[in-house]
Each structure stands twice: as C-alpha cells, then as structure tokens.
Amino acid sequence: MKTIGILGGMGPMATVDLMKKIILSTPAKADQEHIPMLVDNNCLIPDRTRAIKGLGPSPVPEMVKSAKRLMAGGADFIIMACNTAHYFLPEILPHISIPVLSIIDVAVDHIMEQGYQQVGLLATSGTISTGLYQKALEAKNIKCIAPAAQRQHIVDDMIYDGVKANNEAYDTGDIRALLADMRKQGAEAFILGCTEVPVAVSMYGLEGVFVDSTDELARAAVKFSREEK
C-alpha cells in the first residue's frame, strides 16, 4: 500500500477528523491491514482565508516545508485537510514530486454520482471568494448556492468562534436558519466545503443532507493507496 502524507494543522481538529475517516474507510480486520500515514500537523501555517483577503502572510512557505517533510519521510502522495489551502496548490506543486489528491475534485465527483442538480456551499469566505467549488460545479452543470454576502459571516463565525475555538456551547441558531433558507432556494444537499464544518455538524448536531468533503477525500485516499503503484 502507498503511504498517505497528510499536510495538516489547518486546523488540528480537522486533521484528526481526516485521519479518523481514513481509518474508518479502510477495510481492515487487523492493525497490519491499515494504511500507513505520515502527518505533518503544522499549526504554524498562516491562515489561508486571511492570506487570500490580503490581511496576512502567504501560507505557501510553511506548506512547502510540510510537503517536503512528508516526502522525506516516505509519503507516496499528499492530501490536505483544508479546502481553502487548495487555492495555493499551483504555487506548491512545483516544489514537490509526488501526487496531490484534490478535496475539491473528489467532492464534486461524489455530487455528480448522487445526481444532485443544486447544492449549497458551506465554506470559509476565503474558499467562497476563490470560486474553487463554484467553477468545478459549473463545469458539471450543477448550480452552486452560496450564502448571501451579508450572511457568509455566519459560516465563518461557526468555523472560527465555534470549532477552532473548541467552543462546544456555541450558539447555532443563525447557522440553522441559514441552512433552512438555502434549502428554500433549492439546495438539495450541502457541501461541507471546509474541513471544520463536518466537525461542526457532529459537535453541534446540525441536520441536513450533507456532502462531507473530508469523508470523500478519505475514501479517495484509501482507494488510491490500495491501487498498484
């Protein structure tokens, strides 16, 4: 089996969630049948959304350091526990010599398989502003429903003030109302387009039809790892 390299720390809880989902997606009956994983939980990587907005330093140098550590440790391919970080992939790829599986691609592939025509997008304002998911969905003739600009902060607040702050008592009234409104706009399902959002769904008991991008990346990583080199 190929060794999975996880470029993590974006954030730490999302990294653990990805690892857990890889383990749960692996058809193993003993320790020795699980897939080797190398994890670089680099919490020094600057905030990706702030960088995209021009409010903070680029995460690329630290991400490249992590990728190189994973390659040196023997990783055969890399996955990243952060949707927004995929915006910076074009700057990172020239520095590495192993494949990178895209969380965006595998999530959109799953949406295609399920036959959804209209999906809501729950992601950071950074991911929203880059159009990563919107462009990928439009290429497949799938309508993307994002929160109205004045309500995007509701998703960001849940991510930063809720999950990243490990705030189990976070008030979810606004996010529940937002989900209901997006359903009325035609969202058949919701892309959990930030790796903290699946954690939030579990932590706060949010309800809905969800496409968990972390879960889809985990499944793709397991499949890729078990294929012949």
Going residue by residue through the chain, which has 229 residues, state the pLDDT in tens, using 9 for 90 and above: 999 999 999 989 999 999 999 999 999 999 999 999 999 999 999 999 999 999 999 999 999 999 999 999 999 999 998 999 999 999 999 999 999 999 999 999 999 999 999 999 999 999 999 999 999 999 999 999 999 999 999 999 999 999 999 999 999 999 999 999 999 999 999 999 998 999 999 999 999 999 999 999 999 999 999 987 6
DSSP label of 148: P
82 a catalytic residue = yes
pTM: 0.91
Protein fold of 104-212: Rossmann fold (3.40.50)
144 a catalytic residue = no
Same fold, 4-102+215-226 and 104-212: yes
Give the DSSP letter string of 165-189.
TT-TT---HHHHHHHHHHHHTT-SE
CATH of domain 4-102+215-226: 3.40.50.1860
Q: Are 38 and 75 in contact (CB under 8 A)?
A: yes
Domain layout of the chain by residue ranges = 4-102+215-226, 104-212
Q: Which of 194, 197, 201, 203 is labelled catalytic?
A: 194
Q: Which of 18, 82, 203, 206 is labelled catalytic?
A: 82
As a residue count, the chain comes to 229
